[in-house]
Amino acid sequence: MKRVHAGFAALAGSMWLQACGGMPQTPEEFRKAVPGAMMTKTETYEVNRSFRDVASTFQRKAPECLDLAVRTVSQSSTSYQNILTQYKSTVVAGGERAELHLQQEHKTGVIYPSKPPEGGAYIIVADAYPQPGNRTRMQLYGPSMGYDVVYRAIRGWASGENLGCPDMTKIGKL
């Protein structure tokens, strides 16, 4: 019953990485592709929280908040779009790094120019690294526009200051 409906929303997709060569098929390919791609960014910050706590928060909040589907309907006098987008998160926690991957797959209404990986195109990768003094460094890769709500949620989970879920219907809103 975890469902989302969006009445009208702008489509912000993952096309910016597809335009130049194939679509990244792994998180590592995504990390390498983002710095040279259009409309992308990398972001680095530190949080005053232990790496273990950050990793466990990612493991708890990512599936709870990010594994859902969003339906976007937009209509004008000359067009009608109905797009179902499935989001999938993966958390890989190791001793040296904890990774949060967010994938996005348009189930309807979008034609991919190249084959997306299983689970959808990688849209955000957030890496957490342990730092001295019980601190954690965050390194994020993803779009420069339209995903602010997801970036803010991840920052809240990392710092522990806000454990709220991002309203995924706001993706694409500038």
Which residues contact other proteins (rule: CB under 8 A)? 1-9, 64, 149, 152-153, 156, 162-170, 173
Q: Least distance in Å: CB of 10 to other proteins? A: 8
Q: Least distance in Å: CB of 22 to other proteins? A: 32
What is the rounded distance in angstroms from the CA atom of residue 124 to the CA atom of residue 31?
A: 9
What is the rounded distance in angstroms from the CA atom of residue 144 to the CA atom of residue 102?
A: 15
| 35, 126, 174, 36 alpha-carbon torsion, rounded to 10° | 10
Closest CA to 145 of 114, 173, 167: 173
Backbone angles phi, psi at 158, to 5 degrees: -65, -45
Nearer to other proteins, 112 or 151 (CB): 151
Q: Least distance in Å: CB of 147 to other proteins? A: 11
Q: Least distance in Å: CB of 131 to other proteins? A: 25
Nearer to other proteins, 8 or 45 (CB): 8
Nearer to other proteins, 144 or 169 (CB): 169
What is the rounded distance in angstroms from the CA atom of residue 30 to the CA atom of residue 8?
A: 29
Nearer to other proteins, 10 or 38 (CB): 10
